[in-house]
Amino acid sequence: MPFPVDASYVKATEAKLGVAFPPGFVSRMMRDNGGEVSLADEGWWLYPFLDTSDKTRLKRTCNDIVRETASAREWRGFPEDGIAIASNGSGDQLLLLPSATQPSRLQDAIFVWDHETGNVTQIADDFLDLSIR
């Protein structure tokens, strides 16, 4: 069950990864840290920001963006600079990529990484374009 997250945990994740998340993604995640979005009738489970404010939130957020990104980067073909934000449960990942002009700022666009082909395809101009389930 998704729940709000304090901005300090977003900032901590940004510091660990060395990037700034797009505003649309941050606003949605601060309201519901995790949950599910829909894309072409397929469910994607969002990775949360690690929240250590209490034991319950720590348990619910231990599969955080930093951990899941580190795991995804071990897979052959995953973009070296990609940030994993969701999974469809079959190995594919939703991801954010850095801006070409400002590598420390992630683009607003959302991409799908296909684990079988290694292809990266843009699927939305902004996180807020995705349907919340």
Which helix (H) or strand (E) segment holds residue 63: the answer is: none
Domain 7-132 has CATH 3.40.1580.10: yes
d(C-alpha 75, C-alpha 93), whole Å: 11
User: Alpha-carbon distance 2 to 60, whole Å?
Assistant: 9
**Partner residues linked to 1 by β-bridges:** none
pLDDT the model gives residue 133: 63
pTM of the predicted model as reported, rounded to 2 decimal places:
0.94
Return the pLDDT at 1: 63
Look at residue 120 in the predicted model and tell me its pLDDT.
98
> What is the mean pLDDT, run by run of 10 residues, along the chain of 133 residues?
90 98 95 89 93 92 96 96 96 97 96 96 92 70
- Distances 111 to 20, 22, 26, 48, 59 between C-alpha atoms, Å: 17, 13, 16, 17, 28
67 to 48, 101, 116, 129, 130: CA distances (angstroms) = 10, 26, 21, 25, 23
